[in-house]
Structure 1
Amino acid sequence: MASTSYQLEFEVPLRALQERIHALEAGDQNSATVRDDLRAARKALLDKTREIYSNLDEWQTVRVARHPDRPMFTDYVDLICDEFVELHGDKFFGDDRALRTGFAKIDEFKVMLVGHHKGKTLKERNECYFGCAHPEGYRKAMLKMKKAAKYGLPIICLIDTPGAYPGIGAEERGQAQVIAESMLEMSRLGTPIICVVIGEGGSGGALGIGVGDRVAVLEFAYYSVISPEGCAGILWKSHDYAENAAKALKLTSRHLARLGAIDDVIEEPTGGAHRDHYQMAARLKMYLVKSLRELCDKPKDQLVAERYDKFRRIGQFLDEPAAV
């Protein structure tokens, strides 16, 4: 289990164990006592990490989903894809760097890969608007997904955004309209679509590329109609209540699975995806390949019909007034 340079406040108990391991690793490795102590310290660290991460509350899960060391779209491209050719522009306004698209090859499957990218350096994050896409990003994604359907390529969407960009320019260029159009188009594309929330799945920004035959969420990601801060701002008029909002929104993978809002939860390495990019990528790839093998042989009409039925079943409804 790899350590990380950035620690969340609830990970503080791990620091002393990590420091002890570093000290023992710098000691005499030929000593049987040192080897035994090192083995015991590593086991203690693993046990403590499992204990902490098996009891995360909703707000702590949001913090993990936003961890700066968490693998992003470009990390998964490098670790999962045998080939990737990026496609740019929406043929209307420009090329949004917050939403990336391109042809990819994963094992025997040629696919269209679409995903949010937050950026790693400050310069790149500013270029990507921290993963908040503009209308041109969703138009680009729509254009490439239609191209994939034309050539019979499955579509994979990796979702990681706090929400679509809320600026005046984005609204003037039809942000809400283009997200609605994207959801409509995805609902009727005659090709397999797999959507995975790899970090943040916030608001319409996530839903804009979130309509698929399989919708999965990584164990410590979140998927919600609004970000906790946005919800707190509306209900409590202050972002200080974001923790309360996260609890009320039921946005973690375990809540979503119980409510039937998603199809699958992809287990993360011990201590979260940010501790082991390679293992997380291997698990994600295994899920994608398994899903592609299940979906690719289905007739187009059956895919579209089952996708429609799946989303119509989401949510719970009362047939008669609830008892007061």
Structure 2
Amino acid sequence: MAEMEAVRPPETNEAWRKTEVARNPQRLHPMDYLEAIFTDHQELHGDRGFSDDCAMYCAMARLDGSPVMVVCNRKGRTTKDRMRYRFGSPEPEGYRKALRAMKLAEKFGRPVITLIDLAGAYPGLGAEERGQGEAIARNLIEMSQLRVPTIALITGEGGSGGALALAVADRVLMLENAIYSVISPEGCASIMWKDSGKRQKAAAALKYTAPDVRALGCVDDVVAESAEGNPEEGIALVAQELKKHLSALEQQSLDDLLEQRYTKFRNIAQFYTIDTVTQS
């Protein structure tokens, strides 16, 4: 009996089940949503500094006839494309291209919509040498101050600063089977328990599923997915939510949007506050 217990596979908890769904290679990618929901795409290339990172896609487009700027990462379906796009992980040139597109959108008054499904920014030596950390930090600062409405949607994995660099937005949305975390469960398990095999334990501890992240105030809304896995229905649900939130944002003044954006991100991760009592 003891030997049978030793080889019995661990039970899959809900957080790990959602992780497997979010990572499913057959799941809709950001580019699938972009191509189905937006029209009149005009892709932008290059960061005007080093090169064009094809893992990051930026395009002027239209959402239900209204001009917007769409930024998303590519993951690829074939082995060749996955290698080319580094499985969806951008290099610093990708983040600089994304920022160039956002600033262009600001210049012409176009709302910015980002679609995110990446495990993290590319950690290669060349990327670090060319300023991966600085590129991410620059995006965080600039996105917080963009004077246009901004929406970010996490469609699968939202991993670490690589995802956050595209998600400092007025509305941060998340599909119900997506995950959003500072680190992967494997990385967390390797650090906390020196064993990446404890990834399911880490997944439960990280609280990165949609209900948990919503409760922590890190996302503004959770978007329902098709119960039957119908891609057309899933795309329609996403389109409906994007239009709803964009319409609400466009009714507010830019000064109010900036103030609300600042306050929201300042309050994230505050677990308690201390009231100051003035003694006479």
CA distance in 2, matches of 1:194, 1:76: 14
Alignment of 1:153-164 (within 5 A): 153-164=110-121
- What SS does structure 2 have at the residue aligned with 1:82? strand
TM (norm. structure 1) is: 0.79
Deviation of 1:244 (Å): 1.1
Alpha-carbon distance, 1:243 to partner: 1.0
2:180 corresponds to? 223
Instruction: Give the 3-state SS of the residue equivalent to 2:252 in structure 1.
Output: coil
One of 274, 288, 307 as aligned partner of 2:242: 288
Normalization by structure 2: what TM-score? Answer: 0.91
Within-5 A mapping of 1:5-20 = none
C-alpha change, 1:302 and 1:94, in structure 2 (3 Å) is: same
1:161–1:202 CA contact under 8 A, matched in 2: yes
User: 2:216 maps to which residue?
Assistant: 259
What is residue 66 of structure 1 aligned with on the other side? 23
Cα offset for 1:187? 0.1
Counting only pairs closer than 5 Å after superposition, residues 209-248 of structure 1 correspond to structure 2 as: 209-248=166-205
**In the alignment, which of 294, 310, 320 is matched to residue 264 of structure 2?**
310
1:115 alignment partner, SS class: strand
**Deviation by residue 1:206-240 (Cα, 9 ceiling, x = unmatched):** 00101000001100000001111111121122321
More helix as a share of residues: 1
Identify the residue that residue 137 of structure 2 maps to in structure 1: 180
Query: Percent identity over the alignment?
Result: 47
Deviating above 2 A after TM superposition, structure 1's stretches of 4 or more consecutive aligned residues are 316-320
Whole-angstrom distance in 1 between the partners of 2:92 and 2:225 = 32
Equivalence for 1:47: none
Pairwise CA distance, 1:82: 2.1
Give CA deviations for 1:251-305 in whole Å, capped at 9, x if unaligned. Answer: 000111122221000001115xxx3221111001001111111111322211111
The DSSP-based 3-state class of the residue aligned with 1:110 is: strand
8 Å Cα contact 1:61-1:252 kept in structure 2: yes
Give the secondary structure class of the aligned counterpart of 1:246. Answer: helix
Q: Is the 1:156–1:195 Cα contact (8 Å) retained in structure 2?
A: yes
1:195 aligns with 2:152: yes
Is 2:120–2:161's contact at 8 Å kept on the other side of the alignment? yes
Please name the residue that 1:15 is paired with: none
Compute the displacement of 1:87 (Å). 0.9
* Equivalent in the alignment of 2:51: 94
Aligned to 2:161: 204
CA distance in 2, matches of 1:74, 1:276: 17
Choose 1 or 2 for highest CA Rg: 1
Measured after TM superposition, the shift of residue 98 of structure 1 is 1.6
Q: Which runs of 5+ in 2 are unaligned?
A: 1-11, 275-280
* Contact persistence 1:232–1:245 (CA under 8 A): yes
CA distance in 2: counterparts of 1:284 and 1:225, whole angstroms: 24
CA RMSD, aligned part only?
1.5
Task: Look up the match of 1:138.
Answer: 95
Q: Which amino acid aligns with 1:151?
A: F
Q: Which residue of 2 aligns with 1:30?
A: none
Counterpart AA for 2:154: V
Report if the CA contact (8 A) 1:77-1:84 is conserved: no
Q: How many residues align?
A: 264
**More divergent stretch after superposition (154-163 vs 300-309):** 300-309
Partner of 2:14: 57
1:68 positional shift: 0.9
* Per-residue deviation, residues 163-197 of structure 1 (Å, max 9, x unmatched): 01111111111111110110100000000000010
What is the CA distance between 1:56 and its match in structure 2?
Answer: 6.5
Question: Matched residues in 1 for 2:131 and 2:86: separation?
Answer: 18
